[in-house]
Structure 1
């Protein structure tokens, strides 16, 4: 079979034997695979990711000198089961999967390890327990986007955002666009998207952003709309407490302290926007911390590969909440696939084009162009 490998930054089309599924594994014919921003990063900087992965207990993440079949975003059809499988779905059934596989008792990351070749291939192995069936009405071009959209679904879900909270998406590359799609699916009423690239701003509008800005001339913090009271400076923040005390103490015999606590629990009082950092470059977190209003929630979704700094004292003074979002859980994958199948989520605007395996090396070079969003691979081409 044909595959695309990477080694020392060089992408090559190669031939490998069709793999044989082991215990608990399934052989899948790949229908579509997606090129992820993480694939672009590890092509040039795998060692940095491998060092961090080793620190958190996974020593088998790919390194630059390894030859690896990339591709952790994929959809395919079942060909054969290995020993000990439950065989819940018939051969020919279409599936998506968590990009994880068990081999000899160890768990490996598909498409990011020499132990687990990925979806840039005609066939690949998956873990039976990681599979999820794709409904018949879902186009493979959309099914393959389940994994990256699940990343965005996880970030939106963990943010604690309410429909009435203004949302700001900083960076409108593929992950930022996915976050916009999930915010619209969640019914968020005011989404501000910020990116210096005109083509990406146009894509953000197509994905559902209500306001799209070039941050060089139109700061997103000035376009937060008429949501909950936005606090932009320390005196106004301090004033909210005094004014609340004045109001509550004006009511005879009112126990102001429990009333104030109850009001807070139900969302009364000032509340900042929810900001999604989807750039992943040094300096972006500090810029957000400096300029976002008081009481903002900042969710870090972009993967910054280099050390970075921000001023904790600024975040403390504004009482910001910083959350760091990593991937998803199985329910996020299932939820996302269900939303696609039911039409609540239409990721088609993300798709730039569909290519064959021989075109993959050139596609990696052109993905730096801001006009490209998501390039899909059809190994049968």
Structure 2
């Protein structure tokens, strides 16, 4: 193995392929030869809004996050082959195919792989991972499928936090993360999955991923494209339901109607809207959802919006919307995503629309801006 490697670095928003020293695994670390690495939507944001990302990192207490002037190797959705182990690591077999939570620890400091000069990512021939966060890919799982473990873990976390249960799920935006959410909703047994996107190509991919209802929002509203059960269409409809229900109960002498209401709530009989997954991440979308979603919807913010946004909170207040924002996943969710891929319960193949080498990264980033051309592009450093 050479002492240097090829890597694609980004600086001031521009990519270049350079020679860098091969990282050396420290205590508790593994060195992987990169087999595939996915291009994440967050990478697109990080390249275009590096200064905003750096400011956000400081607000979150992560001072080491990438700055525009730095040369950073991005890439955090990867599959690799084990080539070296540092001290105090598990007795891995060399050549094992490994996926890992993209995070490394140097001394007492944690660094996010692909977003930090101290943790170069997998747009390179080699990448470091933490032994404790690494998981072996079972034999028989295609490289291209295994490389989707990380984004599917993000989607699985969002679906778990959404706690859909028997409610309908509505996915707004069918880019890579929206499609991954659809895959995980289907895997978790959700019966009604409504997918909404302006792109014909992405609507077709949503069907392939398991959406039961697919709409073009310019022609059909996602809020009326399925059977809405219960009095949750509007505030006035909910109020009318309450008047009729309480009026009927109070006609029965000695009926403890107030207690019956509370028991009904505990048993899940209270009116509830759908669970909405916002997977667009551009200003204005949340406010549109607040205005259009049925009463008592649960709204899960998955899309990454790097710009300031304005919402009318009084809409969410009057409709009693529940709002949850989600970020990343935990190691168990990461492992579970790999299990779902390995078992065949989840097939991410429809998302894979292209593969490039390191020299094709800049063009690939540009191509991903066209929803009719690509959903997910993988990087193969060997090309």
The TM-score bracket by the shorter chain reads over 0.9
Does the 8 Å contact 2:301/2:325 carry over to 1?
Answer: yes
- The residue that corresponds to 2:272 in the other structure is 271
Q: Output the CA distance in 1 between the equivalents of 2:354 and 2:307.
A: 30
Within 5 Å, give how 1:238-317 maps onto structure 2.
238-317=239-318
CA–CA distance in structure 2, aligned partners of residues 217 and 313 of structure 1: 28
Superposition pairs of residues 189-228 of structure 1, within 5 angstroms:
189-225=191-227, 227-228=228-229
The CA deviation string for residues 296-333 of structure 1, in whole angstroms up to 9 with x for no partner, is 01101001101111111111110100111111111110
Residue from 90, 100, 104 that aligns with 1:101: 104
Q: Which residue of 2 aligns with 1:188?
A: 190
What is the CA–CA distance in structure 2 between the aligned matches of 1:347 and 1:265, rounded to whole Å?
A: 38
Counterpart position of 1:21? 25
Matched-pair contact (CA < 8 Å) for 1:272–1:294? yes
* CA–CA distance in structure 1, aligned partners of residues 342 and 29 of structure 2: 26
> Could you list the per-position Cα deviations for residues 51-84 of structure 1 after superposition, in whole angstroms to 9, with x for gaps in the alignment?
1111111101101111001101101111111122
Match of 1:166 among 152, 168, 171: 168
Give yes or no for the alignment of 1:345 onto 2:346: yes
Count, aligned residues? 378
Measure how far apart 1:245 and its partner are.
2.1
Give the TM-score, by structure 2 length.
0.96
1:238 Cα deviation after fit:
1.1
**Of the candidates 126, 134, 137, which is equivalent to residue 134 of structure 1?**
137
Residues 1-150 of structure 1: matches in 2 within 5 Å?
A: 1-85=5-89, 87-150=90-153
Structure 2 unaligned segments of length 5 or more: list them: none
Q: In structure 2, do the counterparts of structure 1 residues 54 and 260 end up closer, same or farther at CA, with 3 Å as the change threshold?
A: same
Distance 1:354 1:230 in 2: 48
What's the secondary structure of 2:333's corresponding residue? helix
3-state SS of paired residue (1:221) = coil
2:360 is the counterpart of 1:359: yes
**Aligned pair in 2 of structure 1 residues 373, 230: CA closer, same or farther (>3 Å)?**
farther
3-state secondary structure, aligned to 1:189: coil
Per-residue deviation at 1:267?
Answer: 1.3
**1:172-221 CA deviation, whole Å, 9 max, x = no partner?**
11011111111111111111111111111111111111111111121111
